[in-house]
Amino acid sequence: MELSLPFTILLLPQVQVIGETSYRVAFAADLDGLPLEFLQVLR
């Protein structure tokens, strides 16, 4: 069974360091093609 998602993955989750804080960052495009950014602070 194949899963159909209502969005397109633009960037798979990656770790990004800004200053002394690490984040997990991912980007997806919604049905209108607008980018959505997802951030998770890593401790």
Return the closest-CA partner of residue 38 out of 10, 3, 5, 4.
Answer: 10
**Would you kindly state where each structural domain of the chain is located, as residue ranges?**
8-42
6 — pLDDT class (breaks 50, 70, 90): confident
Largest CA distance in the chain: 43
**At residue 26, does pLDDT exceed 90?**
yes
pLDDT at 10: 96
pLDDT at 2: 75
